Amino acid sequence: MKNYESYTMVDFIQDEDFRDWVQGHKSRETFWMAFTELYPEKKDMLRQAEHLIRAAHVNPERITEKEIRSEVELFIERATTGHSQAEIIEEKHQLEKKLYWYNILRWGLSAAAMVLVAVGVNWYLHAPNEISPGVAAENKVGPNMVLTSNDTEKPLRILLVDSSEVILNPKSRLSYPAQFSDSARVVYLVGEASFSVKRQGQPFMVYTGEVVTRVLGTRFVIRAFDLDKKITVQVQTGKVSVYVAKPEQVPNKKEVNGLIITANQEAVFEKSINQLSKTVVANPLKLIKEKPLDVFKYEEVPLPEILGELEKTYGIPVQFDFENFQSCKITATLSNESLYEKLDVLCKAVAASYEIVDGQIVLSGKGCR
């Protein structure tokens, strides 16, 4: 059985069944018509191979056998019905000229088609890895694709066919289908955009350079400008998975695994070292809405209880040694401070410190024994 998952464009071109289907033979029409539903990642490659095969088998406008016979019969008829010798010679020359140009045209189109195939395959084999199908928005323009560029100085709102909303920032581009497929909702981003994805059965996938962000329904922000040294994905609500679409085949470089990030966490992909990591966003937002004037006054409240409230409010895990800090009692008033400012107050009260590790807050210190 053929391994279609590993098929390249050359494999498609060399596949006899595929070539027969492209040329109009019906033996496996059902299979090839459904192929892109079974292997959606091969759709672009299959279409390019199809175009090249069709180009190599152009049926040029030509003189048919019937037309040739008619011309010969007409020539014989005129030769036997009293036409002058000069007229007969002229008719003969005209017939020879038609046959000559027919052969030249047929040979020329065939040669041109073969050159086209050679150039196409050569481009495919030697194209840089980072310019693979599905990477950049500007490379994803086709009959069913829409390319929107924001050349203004203000964010641009885009409503997709599934009712998902995209806020496209200035100097950014988004490529997306006019109609999503049944298997997945796939868009391509260059630049920065905020996504509010409508929850549906199919996953929603955003391709940004080498990084793919996959969700079912949530709110998140992606920044992926070409000149930036890193690609970032920040989650506002829900959770997303972030992974590298096609790791570079570089010796001694490990393949990057995917990450699951939740609200107020950020995935960071460092392009130069091919490294994907998780951290906390610069300004975490409260997930639990509070009244603007809410003030939290703590009177001799155990520190673990306060940390538990912060974890619930911001959705960020807080790791600490419970035995060390369970005896620490806090008296403080917290209101509109940022999460980091609140942590600074609490740590100062118990001579502790904190750091961000793998998208979590890790608090350390001697405690209050």
pLDDT at residue 135, rounded to an integer: 45
| SS3 of residue 4 by DSSP | helix
Cα gap 260→233, rounded to integer Å = 11
Task: Decide the pairing of beta strands 259-262 and 239-244.
Answer: antiparallel
**Is 273 within a domain?**
yes
pLDDT at residue 251, rounded to an integer: 40
pLDDT at residue 266, rounded to an integer: 94
**Is 268 within a domain?**
yes
**Is 131 within a domain?**
no
pLDDT at residue 196, rounded to an integer: 94
Question: Tens of pLDDT along 31-45?
Answer: 777 777 778 888 878
The CA-based dihedral angle spanning residues 86, 90, 95, 98, taken in that order and rounded to the nearest 10 degrees:
170
103 and 179 both lie in a single domain: no
What's the whole-model pTM score? 0.55
Cα gap 157→151, rounded to integer Å = 13
**Is 130 within a domain?**
no
**Is 285 within a domain?**
no
52 and 70 both lie in a single domain: no
Q: Model confidence at 106, in pLDDT bands (50, 70, 90)?
A: low
Question: Tens of pLDDT along 120-157?
Answer: 444 444 443 333 334 444 445 555 788 889 998 999 99
Cα gap 79→92, rounded to integer Å = 10
**Is 117 within a domain?**
yes
**Is 289 within a domain?**
no
pLDDT at residue 9, rounded to an integer: 75
Domain CATH number, residue 325: 3.55.50.30
201 and 274 both lie in a single domain: yes
Residue range 164-172: average pLDDT? 94
- 80 pLDDT more than 70: no
pLDDT at residue 194, rounded to an integer: 95
pLDDT at residue 88, rounded to an integer: 56
Cα gap 257→35, rounded to integer Å = 28
Structural domain harbouring 349? 296-365
- 119 pLDDT more than 70: no
326 and 354 both lie in a single domain: yes
Residue whose token pair is 């909303």:
165
Q: What is the mean pLDDT of the chain?
A: 76
- 167 pLDDT more than 70: yes
53 and 70 both lie in a single domain: no
**Is 288 within a domain?**
no
Q: What is 149-185 written as a DSSP string?
A: EE-SSS-EEEE-TTS-EEEEPTTEEEEEESS--SS-E
Q: What are phi and psi of 88, to 5 degrees?
A: -65, -45
For residue 191, the cross-strand partners are 224
**Residue 255 CA: distances (Å) to CA of 175, 251, 357:** 27, 10, 21
pLDDT at residue 191, rounded to an integer: 95
109 and 201 both lie in a single domain: no
103 and 224 both lie in a single domain: no
Q: Model confidence at 197, in pLDDT bands (50, 70, 90)?
A: very high
- 79 pLDDT more than 50: yes
Cα gap 224→256, rounded to integer Å = 18
Cα gap 39→11, rounded to integer Å = 15
171 and 275 both lie in a single domain: yes
- 210 pLDDT more than 90: no
Q: Model confidence at 250, in pLDDT bands (50, 70, 90)?
A: very low
Total number of domains constituting the chain: 4
The H-assigned helical ranges of 193-338 are 303-314, 322-325
Cα gap 10→8, rounded to integer Å = 5
Residue bearing the bigger pLDDT, 298 or 291: 298
Question: Tens of pLDDT along 292-328?
Answer: 556 778 899 999 999 998 888 888 889 888 888 989 9
Q: What is the DSSP letter of 316?
A: -
Question: Can you read off the two tokens belonging to residue 95?
Answer: 């017939």
100 and 198 both lie in a single domain: no
| SS3 of residue 358 by DSSP | coil
Q: Which are the contacts of 272, defined by CB distance < 8 A and separation ≥ 6?
A: 229
The residue count of the chain comes to 369
